[in-house]
Chains A and B, each alone.
Chain A
Amino acid sequence: MKTSDLIAALAASDAAPVRPAAPAFRLAPAALIGACAAGIVLALWLGFQPLTAAVGASWFWMKAGYSLAAALAGFLLLIRLARPGARPGLAGAGIAVAAFVVIWMMAMDASMRAGAAQAPALWLGSTWRVCPWRILALAAPIYLAVIVVLRRLAPTRLSLTGAAAGLLAGGLSAAVYGLYCQENTAPFVAVWYSLGIAVSALAGAFAGPRLLRW
């Protein structure tokens, strides 16, 4: 086919008006639907902890805050990366770094206060072996929901986009997992929640180029 014919065909057959896509308004609902799916999976799989007691505890909100900050960072990166030619910007990366620094400062502080004898219990809790993998598992439905939307947009840096989608999914997944998880120390969150979120981002970066090609 000659290029001039292609252009004529495209203009003639298919020049319907389009509305400029707003990635934020498409990605946010997808992420929420994915998070609801993850919540349902969690309810069927492990159940929730007694939430009326948990929401009164500061450690519950410390975990939720850290997880949601990671999700927000991924979201901000993603709405830029979903469009060709837009730079990822510093806001997303900045929030991720800031959240990480803050949780680690809280962790170090708690660990030093506890003293050498108590500290290992704070860092390891009782579920450190399973926590990151559960976060990764619950991130899967969120990641997939986000990918479905991203495929209709036009990311051009697929690994980076996949990583940002994984960060968003991992952060939301960790927040959902907090509905079950009763670990209540900053050192635990700083290591094992971070690890679960990081593994999600890594898996997202790996899968991105395969799932997002267009």
Chain B
Amino acid sequence: MGLGYALKRYAVTIRIELTNNSPLEAQLKALMIAAQAGDAQAQSRLLTQLAGRLRAYFGRRLTGRADDVEDLVQEALLAIHVKRATYDPRFDFTPWAYAIARYKLIDHFRRSGGRINIALDDAGDLFATENPEEGAVRRDVASLLARLPLRQRALMRDVKLEGHSMEEAADRAGMSVTAVKVSVHRSMQRLMKEVDDEDV
């Protein structure tokens, strides 16, 4: 299997169960509640986390238009900030954020005069969930990544799978951007070599 292809498919389909007790939902919800209470740090952590997911979500739907994607990411983040009072903590956070992302995407298509054809799916698309068909790919990628040292693995996950920028990954890991680029590049080379060796 081609590594780039597998990574791409995996990035599209890593999915995390979206129930009340999903760790992601719980974590984002806690951040949002803190942000509503005026906690600036929680606010910025929340938006940073969402930025990566939004970038991946919009990126998949606007391939090859990186500028549009980044504009949309910023618009969605701004909307999430400005409209934060409309989130009701009695309900899950992820469907709320997803509805805003989807709304901004539709609005973008409408403005650019394109055809609108977005399924009214659930938040799973932004916040990723189970897809049985992708299980095999996912296992392969997971076992591949497991061969990397912890630090490299975390960077690969951030950059290649979750769609964070190099800058964000550097921020999270407390490394310089250059160091992140080098590490990700080396990881990719190493994995490709290993996959090639196995395929032969």
Q: Is A17 in contact with B36, judged by CB distance below 8 angstroms? A: yes
Report the interface size for chain A: residues with CB under 8 A from the other chain.
29
* CB 8 Å contact bits of B31-65 with A (1 = contact, 0 = none): 00001111111011001100100000000000000
**Which A residues from 157 to 214 make CB contacts under 8 A with B?**
213-214
Q: Is A14 in contact with B36, judged by CB distance below 8 angstroms? A: no
Closest CB-CB distance, B83 to chain A, in whole Å?
Answer: 4
Of B95-103, B143-151, B187-195, which stretch is located at the interface? B95-103
Q: Of A8, A15, A83, which one neighbours B88 at CB under 8 angstroms?
A: A83
Q: Is B175 engaged at the interface, CB distance under 8 Å to the other chain?
A: no
B-chain residues with CB within 8 Å of residue A20 when the two chains form the complex: 36, 85-89
A-chain residues with CB within 8 Å of residue B107 when the two chains form the complex: 213
The majority secondary structure among interface residues of chain B is helix
Q: Is A84 engaged at the interface, CB distance under 8 Å to the other chain?
A: yes
Closest CB-CB distance, A193 to chain B, in whole Å?
Answer: 32
Q: How far is the CA of A86 from the CA of B95 in the complex (A)?
A: 8
Of B1-9, B20-28, B73-81, B155-163, which stretch is located at the interface? B73-81
Q: Is A154 in contact with B83, judged by CB distance below 8 angstroms? A: yes
What residue in chain A is nearest B102 (Cβ atoms)? A156
Q: Is A214 in contact with B79, judged by CB distance below 8 angstroms? A: yes
Q: Of B36, B89, B96, B167, which one neighbours A85 at CB under 8 angstroms?
A: B96
Q: Is B81 in contact with A18, judged by CB distance below 8 angstroms? A: no
Q: Is B70 in contact with A3, judged by CB distance below 8 angstroms? A: yes
B-chain residues with CB within 8 Å of residue A7 when the two chains form the complex: 44, 47-48, 51, 77
Q: Is A83 in contact with B86, judged by CB distance below 8 angstroms? A: yes
Closest CB-CB distance, B173 to chain A, in whole Å?
Answer: 15
Q: Is A3 in contact with B73, judged by CB distance below 8 angstroms? A: yes
Q: Is A53 engaged at the interface, CB distance under 8 Å to the other chain?
A: no
A-chain residues with CB within 8 Å of residue B79 when the two chains form the complex: 154, 214
A-chain residues with CB within 8 Å of residue B43 when the two chains form the complex: 10-11, 15
Q: How far is the CA of A21 from the CA of B90 in the complex (A)?
A: 12
B-chain residues with CB within 8 Å of residue A130 when the two chains form the complex: none
Q: Is B74 in contact with A11, judged by CB distance below 8 angstroms? A: no
Q: Is A90 engaged at the interface, CB distance under 8 Å to the other chain?
A: no
Closest CB-CB distance, A17 to chain B, in whole Å?
Answer: 3
Q: Is A117 engaged at the interface, CB distance under 8 Å to the other chain?
A: no
Q: Is A107 engaged at the interface, CB distance under 8 Å to the other chain?
A: no
Closest CB-CB distance, B85 to chain A, in whole Å?
Answer: 4
Please indicate which of the listed interface residues A18, A23, A153 has the most CB atoms of chain B within 10 Å of its own CB.
A18
Q: A3-B73, A83-B86, A84-B86 are in contact. Are A8 and B96 (CB under 8 A)?
A: no
**Complex A-B: 26 CB contacts under 8 Å:** A3-B73, A4-B48, A6-B74, A6-B78, A7-B44, A7-B77, A10-B43, A10-B78, A10-B81, A11-B43, A11-B44, A17-B37, A18-B38, A19-B36, A20-B89, A82-B86, A83-B87, A84-B97, A85-B91, A85-B95, A85-B96, A85-B98, A86-B88, A153-B83, A156-B100, A156-B102
Query: Known pairs A84-B83, A85-B92. 6 more at Cβ < 8 A?
Result: A3-B70, A4-B51, A17-B38, A20-B36, A20-B87, A85-B123
